Structure 1
Amino acid sequence: MSLKANPRRKTLGRKIAAARSQAGMTQGQVAKALKVVQSTVSAWEKGRRRLPSDRAAELDDLFDSGGAIKRAWNTANEPDALPPWYTEVGQLEREATELREYQPLIFPGLIQCESYTRGLLADTVPWFSPKEIDQMVTLRMARQEVLERQENRPLVSIVVEEAVLRRAVRGGQPVLIEQLTSVIKLIDKEQIRFQVIPSDAECHPGGSGPFCIYAFPDKPVVASAEHMKGEALMDDMMQVQHCAMLFGILQAEAMSPRASRELIRKTKEVLDDEA
C-alpha cells in the first residue's frame, strides 16, 4: 500500500536512491533483480511505501552497501514513542561537513559516553520506560560513528560553560569522571575542537540557550535550538547568521582549546582524588 511520505521514510528513500546511484543501477534494474514492479522501487525511494525489513537486506546485497540500507531502515522504523527529532539530529550530523555547538548545561549529545547519556536521560525524562531509555541511548551512541570516520569526518567545534565540567548526572562522580576522560580522548585524537567559557568570564553571550549549526556540502546551512521537548530547526538565513555570529562571540570569550583541555584534566584529577 502506498502511504503519505513521512520524514523518516523519506530519509530512508534518499539513502536507497543514493546507494542505487552509487551502484550504477536504474530503478528498472532494481525492480527486475527483486522481482517487483518499477513503481514499487520508485515508491520506496520517495518514502511513499513502507520498505519491508527483508527487502532492506536484499537492497544492501544488491548495492553492496555494507549494511547502510538496513541501518537506515532501523532508524526509520524506531518506535513512535521516541521523539522524531531524536533521529533527525543524527541524520543532520551524518550529512554535515561542519558542526558548531554551544551547551551551557550539559555535554553535547554527540560526545556523551554511554553512562553519562543514561544518567542524563534518567534525570531529564523520568516518564520514559527502561526500554525507551535503552533505545535512546543506543541511538545517541550510534551518532558518534561520524567522529570515527577516516574520510569526510565533520569538523566539530564545541563550546561549553565551565559548570558543565562539574555538573553530575544520575550515577554521580564516577559517571562524570568517565565523561571527562572520554572528552579528553576525543580532544587528543583531534576528533573535536573543545573550548570552555570560564565561570568568571566578564561577558556572557550564551544566555539565549544551547544551539547547534550544521554546514553541508550541497545545501544551505541550518541551525537548531534546544527546548524542553526537543530541538527546533531553523533555516531562515537571518536566524542562521545570528547563530553563527553568536558562536563566534562565544569562542572569543572561551579559553583556548589547549587551556580548556588542561582545565578538564585538572577537574578530573580533583574528582579522582575525591572518589
Structure 2
Amino acid sequence: MLANMNMHHRQFGTTLRKWRNSKGLTLEQVASATSLAKSTISKLESGYRSTTLANVERLDSLLEANGEVVTAWRESRDRASDPDWLNRIRESEERATEIRAFNPLYVPGLLQTPDYARIVFSDASPGENPEAIEALVEARCDRLRQLEAAVRVIIPEFVLRYAVGGSETMHRQLQHLIDLSERVRIQVLPDGIGYHGRLAGSFRILSFDDRVPRVECEHATGSIVEVRTAEVRRLTTVFSELASWGYDPDRSLAALEEIRDGFAVA
C-alpha cells in the first residue's frame, strides 16, 4: 500500500516541498501554521500519504503557491484511479533523464495528439467504455508537458504517411510533431533503408541518474518492463543503428513539413 501511495502522490509531495523550500520554511513552521503534525507534512512531501482538499488549500495559501499545490494534489488523486501500468509508466518517465523511443507502427505515445491517441486506443480496445478511452487519451497526451527528461524519437516515414483517422487527423498530428521539434529530437527513418532493426518492435529506453537503464516494450494500451542488462544493451544498439539510418533533425523537419502538406484539410 505504501508503495502505491508513493507512486500516486510523489508528484504532489515534490511540488509541496518545492514551495516550502522556496519560502524558506521548516517542517515545524508549516506544521504550526496549518495545525498539521510535522510528521504529516513530512509524509506528504515523501509521497507516503494524501490529505483532504481543505488541508491542501491551507498549505497552498500559506505558501502563496497560486493554486499550484492544489492542482498537484488533484492530479495525484486522479492518478489513484488510473490503471497500474499507466502509473508505472509515469513514475519511470518522471525519474528519467533521457527517453529514447521507437515505434514501427504508430507515432510514439508521448507525441500523439488527442485525436490520434483516441483512434489508437479505440482500435486496440474495441467495446471499451468511451469514458475510459477519454481518460487514457487525456493521460497520454498530457505526459510530455510534465517531463524534464531529454526525449529522442525515431519514426518510420511510412508511419507518418499512413492516414490514421483521415487527412485532418494526420495533418494535425504532423503539425504537432513540427511544433515539438524544438523540445524533442525527432528523426524520420526513410523508407527502403538496408537495416531491419525496426523488426525488433516498439520499445523505449529510459536512462536515470540513480538506477540502471531500463527498457519498456510498448503496445497500444500499455507496456512490458525489461531491465535485464543484455536486453537493454541489445535495444540500445538497435536504437543507435536506427538513428544512424535516420534523417538528421533538420532534414527530418523538412520531411515532416512535406508529409503534412500532403494531407489536405478542408
TM above 0.5:
yes
Counterpart amino acid of residue 4 in structure 1: L
**In structure 1, distance between residues paired with 2:122 and 2:215:** 27
Deviation string 1:24-48 (CA, Å, 9 cap, x unpaired) is 3332222212102222223323444
**In structure 1, distance between residues paired with 2:220 and 2:155:** 19
Pair 62,244 (structure 1): closer, same or farther in 2 beyond 3 Å: farther
Q: Does 1:267 align with 2:256?
A: no
Shift of 1:207: 1.8
Q: Does 1:224 align with 2:216?
A: yes
Aligned to 1:163: 158
Pair 81,239 (structure 1): closer, same or farther in 2 beyond 3 Å: same
Q: Secondary structure at the match of 1:240?
A: helix
Conserved 8 A contact 1:159-1:194: yes
Shift of 1:249: 1.0
Q: Unaligned 5+ residue runs, structure 2?
A: none
Aligned to 2:238: 246
Pair 267,216 (structure 1): closer, same or farther in 2 beyond 3 Å: same
How many correspondences in the alignment?
264
| 1:1-275 equivalence runs, <5 A | 4-6=2-4, 7-78=7-78, 82-146=82-146, 154-169=149-164, 171-187=165-181, 190-217=182-209, 219-227=211-219, 229-272=221-264
Identity %: 30
Q: Secondary structure at the match of 1:206?
A: helix
State TM-score, norm by structure 2: 0.83
Q: Secondary structure at the match of 1:212?
A: strand
**In structure 1, distance between residues paired with 2:50 and 2:143:** 24
Conserved 8 A contact 1:161-1:198: yes
Shift of 1:66: 4.8
Q: Unaligned 5+ residue runs, structure 1?
A: 148-152
Pair 218,110 (structure 1): closer, same or farther in 2 beyond 3 Å: same
Conserved 8 A contact 1:146-1:154: no
Shift of 1:8: 1.0
State TM-score, norm by structure 1: 0.80
Deviation string 1:126-182 (CA, Å, 9 cap, x unpaired) is 3432222222222233223258xxxxx54321101222112233x322101111122
**In structure 1, distance between residues paired with 2:79 and 2:93:** 21
Pair 184,61 (structure 1): closer, same or farther in 2 beyond 3 Å: same
**In structure 2, distance between residues paired with 1:193 and 1:173:** 25
Aligned to 1:150: none
Shift of 1:226: 1.1
Conserved 8 A contact 2:79-2:87: no
Conserved 8 A contact 1:5-1:47: no
Pair 167,86 (structure 1): closer, same or farther in 2 beyond 3 Å: farther
**In structure 1, distance between residues paired with 2:71 and 2:212:** 26
Conserved 8 A contact 2:8-2:80: no
**In structure 1, distance between residues paired with 2:37 and 2:135:** 35
RMSD: 2.9
